[in-house]
Amino acid sequence: MSSSPLNVAIIGMGTVGTGVAKILLNRVEQMTLRAGRPIHLKRAVVKDLARTRDVALAPGVLTDDIEAVINDSSIDVVIQLVGGINPAYEIMLRVLESGKDVITANKALLCEKGESLFQRARELGRCICFEAAVAGGVPLIETVTQAMSANQITSIEAILNGTSNYILTQMFSHNVSYEDAVQSAQQIGYAEADPAMDVDGTDAAQKLGILVQLALGIKVGLDQFLRQGIDSLSLADLQYASELGYTVKLLAVAKLRDGQLEMHAQPTLIRNDNPLAHVEDAYNKIALEGDAVGKVWLSGMGAGQMATASAVVANLIDVAVGRAAITFPRLDLWNPRRDIKIMPREEISRRYFLRLNVEDRPHALADITNVLGDHQISIASLVQHEAPEVDQSEDYPIVPLVIMTHRTTEGRFQAASRELDELACIRAPLVRMPVND
C-alpha cells in the first residue's frame, strides 16, 4: 500500500458533491483499503461560501476560487459536478490541461461535447470517468464498456430517469395528480425546483444517447429520434393502462433492426408480466441484449444523493488503483467506429394507446374509426365507460375513449393523430403512447 495520498478536489458541492464528501470523510479506513492509498479531499469549490452544508469539511478545504484547483499541481483528480454545458465544458478542459484526471456526472455535457473532451484527454494522457452520468448507482457504463466487451449489444430497453419513475409510481400507487407527485419528488430531493429535463424526456434521451455511443460507436443527436416526456400524462392514463393489463413507464429504447437503429425515449405501455413494469420509485432498470451472452438485467437507484455519489467514488477508486489509466485509452471511447443508419421515425412499427375526450353523440365513434381506417390503422380494443343519459336539448357530455391499435407505423399514426385533432367531436388533449409488446 502506498503512503502517498491521492489528492482530490470537488468542483460543485451540490447534492451529489456533498454525498461524495460524506463518503470520503466518513469511510476513511474503507477508502484507504480499497484504493491502496489514502484519499485526501483537499479542495471543494462552491459559489457561495456562506451557505450551510450538510457535511463538516476541514478548515481551508472550501473555496470559491476555481484557480485554487487549476493551479494546484498536487491535486491528482477533480470530481467535476457542475451541470449544463457552459461553463462546465471550459472547466473540464482546463482541469485536463492542468494535468489532472476528471470524474463527472454531467450527462448533458458528454452528449454535447463528449467527442472533443475525450479526444483532448487522450492527447494529454489523462482520463475521464463518468459512471455516475447514467443510471445513478447502477454500474451500467462499466457493464457496457467492459463486462460485455465480447458482445455486440443489439438491444437496450431501459428506465433511466429515476425522477420520472418516482412521479409515475406516486401517481398510480397513491392516487395523486401529476402536480402533487412532482411536488413530492421535489421535497425528497429527486427533482430540481425546475424539473423540466426530467419530466420532458430530455434526461432519459441524453442517457440513451451515451449508451448508444458506447455500445454501437455512433453519435445520435437528440433531434434525430423520438423524445416525449411524462408531463402530458394524467392519473387517468395510468389507470386505463392498468385496466388493459399494462403499466406506464418512461422507456428508453435502442434496437438494431436489419442494419438500422430504432431509437426512442417515451412514456410507454409495458405489459405487467415484463420485469420493467415492476420498477418503482426512483429505481432504474436496464435490459441489455448481447449477441453472445443474451439478455442481461441491471437495476438500482437512479436518483438521490448517495446512489449517485456511490458511482462517483467507484470511479475515484478506479483512478486511485490505476485501472482508469489503463482502460481509458484502450477503450477508445467516443471515437466514431460504425456507420449505422438511424431508422426514420416514420418507419418505426408498434402498437399504440390513444386516449381521446369525445362528445358522447351519434356518429362520433364512426368519425374516429373512419380516420383510423383511412390510415390503415386497425383497432385492437376500445374502452368507453358508460356515460349518463342527457336530454337531447342539452350539450353532449364529454367522455374519455381509449383505443388500443394493432401494429402500425409511426408515420401512419402521426398522420391519423393530426386528423383526429381536427375532428369537431374531440376535445384536447389527445394522449398518445406507444405499446411495448
Q: What share of the chain is helix, strand, coil (3-state, %, to 5)?
A: 40, 25, 35
Instruction: Tell me the C-alpha distance between 25 and 282, whole Å.
Output: 26
Three-class SS state of 413:
helix
Instruction: Tell me the C-alpha distance between 163 and 232, whole Å.
Output: 15
Instruction: Tell me the C-alpha distance between 301 and 307, whole Å.
Output: 6
The answer to whether 308 and 328 are in contact (CB under 8 A) is no
Strands (E), 15-152: 39-45, 62-63, 77-80, 101-104, 128-129
Instruction: Tell me the C-alpha distance between 369 and 377, whole Å.
Output: 9
Instruction: Tell me the C-alpha distance between 283 and 138, whole Å.
Output: 9
Residue 18: what residue type? T
Q: Which residue has the cell 402521426?
A: 414
β-pairing, 283-290 vs 349-359, is unpaired
Instruction: Tell me the C-alpha distance between 132 and 299, whole Å.
Output: 14
Run of H or E residues at 215: helix 202-216
Where in the sequence numbering do the catalytic residues fall? 207
Instruction: Tell me the C-alpha distance between 324 and 306, whole Å.
Output: 22
Q: Which residue has the cell 436496464?
A: 286
> In the 8-state DSSP scheme, what is residue 343?
P
Burial class (CB in 10 A: 0-12, 13-18, 19+), 424: exposed
β-pairing, 226-227 vs 101-104, is unpaired
> For 189, phi and psi rounded to 5 degrees?
105, 5
Instruction: Tell me the C-alpha distance between 170 and 116, whole Å.
Output: 40
